[in-house]
Structure 1
C-alpha cells in the first residue's frame, strides 16, 4: 500500500489569463513544457509546476482556432504566482483592452511579479505603459503598427522571446524556448531537458538563450555574468564593482534601476537558485551545497533558503524524493497490472 507523500511546494507557479480569440499554439507549447516538468514520471500531475487558467470575466473564451476554453479559477493576479501570462491573439481583442486590466497589470509589475505577453498581448502591455524604454519581441506582421502606437518601446522581430526588467514578450510560435528557460531557472536542467526531449525540440545554444534576457545597462549585464561565474566563491560586492570598472554605490544604483533590486539581493537569489538545483540533481549534503553556493556556512544558507522558498533545504529535498518514490511505485504497480505497458 502506497502512502500519499506530503504536499510539495511547487518550484514554478504560472497564472494564464486567456483573452478572447487568443492564439492556441504558444499557450499549448508553454503549458505542455510545464506539464512534462511538473511530474517526475509522465502522469501529468501538477507537482513541481502548477498553472491556472483564468479569463477577464471568469467566463469561457474562444481561441482563434475556434476551440472553447473554460477557466479553472476566478481571476486573481496575486495568487502567489511566479509569472502572470497574458495570452493574446487576434488584434481586435488586444488593441483596446479594458482600463481595469491595464491598472491591474501595472499593480502586478509594481509588485515585482514578472509578466509574460504571448502573441499580440504586447499591445496590452504597451497600452499599460509597461514597454516604454524596454526591448520587446513582436511578430513581424504587426511591427509597423506596434511601433506607431508605442514609439517608446524598442521592438525586435528576430527573437523568440525577450526578457527585459520583469517583462517578457514572446511573439508567438511554440513558446517552447521560453518555457525551457523558465523551467531551467526554477526547476533545474534535468526537467528542462525532459520537456525538450519529449516535445522533440532541439535546444538552442546557451549563448543564444542568454541574448533573450536584456538589461539596458551593459555594466549590469557584465556584473551578472561575473556573479554567475563566481557562485561558489564568497566575494564582496566591491569585488563585483571592481570587475566591471565602477564603485559599489554606482553599481547599486544601476542594479536597482535595471533589475528593481540591489545587487546583494540579486546575487543571493542566484546562489539560492544554484543551491536548489544541487539539492534536486545531486546527493551532496547541505553543508557541501552551502559552500558550493558561496554561503559561509550551512546555518546561513538554511536561513536564507527558508526565507526565499518557505521551507528548509532538508524539507525541500525530502518532499521531492517522497514524490519521486511514490510516482515510481505507482508506475511499477501499473506496469505489473497492465501487460501492454
Structure 2
C-alpha cells in the first residue's frame, strides 16, 4: 500500500513539473538557496553554475530561464568551509515564490548552529508543498528540521557514519550520487551537485540546456541519480554501474561484511542477477570481488594512516589481524607490516598489483 502511494505521489510530482510556480521574473526554474555556516564551496558553485549557464546564451549569466537567490535570516555574509564568503541576496520570506528551496551544507560540526528561523522557514516551505533540496550535508539539516520523515535521502559515503550516529529514523543511501524521492531531492555534494542541477534544468527547461551547462563546465554528460559515488579506491576497475554500486555498498559496510544475497536485496535484484553481472564485468564472483575490496581498503589504511594493524583488521571486517595478514600476503605477496614499511619509502615501493584481483579464499 505504501509503495503504491509513493509511486502515485512520484508520478503526480513528475506531471506537475514540481511546483509549477515560476514566479520569479518569469524564469522557468526559480531556486532559493540557504547556505549553512561553513558550507561546502564546490558543492554550491557546481549547483549554481549549471543554473547560470542554462539561464542565458553562452555564459552571459543573465537570469532569464533560471533565477536563483541566496536567502538569509540576517543578511550577514556567510563563510564557506574554504573561508570565502558569500553575500545573501534577500531575507527569508515567502517560500512559495520559488520552485525549490535548496540547503547547501558543509562541515558537520556547524549543523547545531543552524538558526531556528531557517528551521521554521523549511517547515513552512514543506507545508506549502515547495520541494526541498539537500546538498552535501544539507540532508542533515532537512532531517533536523523534521521534513525528511518518510523519505529516502542521499549522503556522501564520507558522512554516512556521521549521519547514522547523529540521527535516528532514517537509513541514508550513500551509494548513489543523488536521490529524487517525490518532493525531496538530496545529493552527496561535490560534482554530484552539478548533476542534480542538470536534472532540474532538464526537467524544467530542456535537455539541450542541461547538456550545454555541463559541457561548458568540462563535464562529459549528465549522470543519473543511481550512478555510484566514487570513494576510497576499490582495487577493481569496471564501467558496469551496477557492479560498481555493489562494490561501493561493500565498502560502506566493510566493518560488518554483507552477504551477496543481502547486497542484491538492497539493490532490488536477485542474487543470481548480481552474480551474472560480476562474471560478465570482472570474470570473478561477487564473493571474490568483495574480499578484494576489503583487502584494498586495508592496504589504503596501512599506507595512509597510523592505525594499528589490529584496528585495521577490525575496521575491514576480518576476524583478527592474523586472518587479515594471511589473506593480505596471499593477495599482495607481502605482509601488512611490509606493505606499510614499503609505503614509507617511496623509492622502494613495490609495483601496484593488477587491477583485477586474483581469487582469494577466506
> TM-score band (shorter)?
0.5 to 0.7
The alpha carbon displacement at 1:96 in A equals 4.5
Instruction: Name which of 84, 93, 100 aligns with 2:101.
Output: 84
Cα distance between partner residues in 2 of 1:103 and 1:68: 24
Matches within 5 A, 1:1-341: 9-78=26-95, 80-174=97-191, 175-204=193-222, 208-209=224-225
Match of 1:51, SS state, is: strand
Residues 172-228 of structure 1, C-alpha deviation per residue, up to 9 Å, x if partnerless?
1121110110000000111111111111112246xx44789xxxxxxxxxxxxxxxx
The alpha carbon displacement at 1:129 in A equals 1.8
Match of 1:135, SS state, is: coil
The alpha carbon displacement at 1:62 in A equals 0.7
Equivalent residues of 2:178, 2:226 under 8 A apart: no
Match of 2:91, SS state, is: coil
Return structure 1 stretches of 4+ with deviation > 3 angstroms.
208-212
Equivalent residues of 1:60, 1:71 under 8 A apart: yes
Equivalent residues of 2:134, 2:142 under 8 A apart: yes
Aligned-residue Cα RMSD (Å) equals 2.1
Q: Structure 1's 145 and 8: CA in aligned 2 closer, same or farther, altered over 3 A?
A: closer
The alpha carbon displacement at 1:40 in A equals 2.5
Match of 1:202, SS state, is: coil
TM-score scaled by length of structure 1: 0.56
Q: Computing the radius of gyration over CA atoms, which structure comes out larger, 1 or 2?
A: 2
Equivalent residues of 2:98, 2:130 under 8 A apart: yes
Match of 2:81, SS state, is: coil
The alpha carbon displacement at 1:8 in A equals 6.6
Structure 1, unaligned stretches of length 5 or more? 1-6, 213-341
Equivalent residues of 1:162, 1:169 under 8 A apart: yes
Structure 2, unaligned stretches of length 5 or more? 1-23, 229-362
Cα distance between partner residues in 2 of 1:210 and 1:77: 33
The alpha carbon displacement at 1:53 in A equals 1.4
Q: Structure 1's 71 and 100: CA in aligned 2 closer, same or farther, altered over 3 A?
A: closer
Cα distance between partner residues in 1 of 2:173 and 2:82: 26
Q: Structure 1's 10 and 20: CA in aligned 2 closer, same or farther, altered over 3 A?
A: same
Aligned positions, number: 204
TM-score scaled by length of structure 2: 0.53
Cα distance between partner residues in 2 of 1:96 and 1:69: 18
Cα distance between partner residues in 2 of 1:128 and 1:53: 19
The alpha carbon displacement at 1:86 in A equals 0.9
